[in-house]
Amino acid sequence: MMAQNTTAKIAAELGFNEIGIYFYDVKTDSEDELSRRMDGILSGIANGDIVFFQVPTWNGITYDKAFIKKLKAYRDVKVAFFINDVPPLMFESNRYLLSKVINLYNHADLIIVPSYKMAIFLKNMGMTVKKVIIQNIWDYPTEAYLEEPVLKKYINFIGSPQKFDFVKRWNYDIALRLFAEKSDELSGNIIFEGWQYTTNLISKLSQGGWGLVWSEENYTKTYMEMCTSYKLSTYLAAGIPVIVPKGISNEQLIKENNLGIIVDSLDEMIKKTEKISIDNYHQMAVNVHRFSFLLKNGYFTKKTLLDSVHALLREKTDEKTNF
């Protein structure tokens, strides 16, 4: 929800008008009621418009299909799907829905995907959309007060112990500074910060240390190689260097800009962080500060949206967008 709302706000700066889609229990609507509700939502659409549809809406695949059917009834409307997440790849229990989700994507004139690897995967699984734009990373606009980060003997992590089991087994000398709801399952060297809202979270993260993006659950790890982590952008916007697993979709971006360290295991992470000098950490923090300027000003979202508009206005695809 935060990422979708942020995208809508950044788009408004470029002159886009927002189409507000509500998240609710769709089953409470009859077919006629749902149709009328969608008519109201789409009342501002005109023939020939370009529409960006952020998916999923989290109202279910049936809702999303009905919405696109309504939208496609307008003459000469071009629809770009902005894929925020792919539920069948997020949760193994939803894998059976993948063919239905890809069938939905095939109604788009253009697809925005988190990574090149995601584009190739979807194509191999049956996606036929030719025009594809790569998002690369989430933006994170914030006006929160940020400190100048310093090397501290802890690693920041945002995530519930119920979802990330490694948190429950944290017994390293370097502490895990955890931002999550309190849990009785926690033990070991953990600094518990509780769940923090955006402004407080960013301010606290900016105090220093590292920002960890990690999962040891195989299905989630595979998804991390294709999706774009909002958690990663949160750390970078706060100004702290990151620790990420090899193979993550943003690996090359992190490496080229020297924004943190890339490791194969938590044990390797401990060894590498122990060897980092204050000067080396400071240089990484300087690099992150420069890079975060782009995130905090919506650069990547603006570029993604404008590139998509240009691609949709061209009659034929070219090498940059043709998959």
> Annotated binding residues, as ranges?
163, 229-234
Separation CA 277–CA 6 (nearest Å): 36
Q: Are 245 and 214 in contact (CB under 8 A)?
A: yes
Binding site listing for UDP: 163, 229-234
What does the alpha-carbon distance between residue 240 and residue 233 come to, in Å, rounded to a whole number? 10
**Beta pairing partners, 134:** 113
Does residue 94 contact residue 75 with C-beta atoms inside 8 Å?
A: no
87 cis-preceded (ω within 30 degrees of 0): no
Contact 147, 118 (CB under 8 A): no
Quote the CA–CA distance of 134 and 139 in Å, as a whole number.
Answer: 14
Answer for the pair 100, 190: CB distance below 8 angstroms, yes or no. no
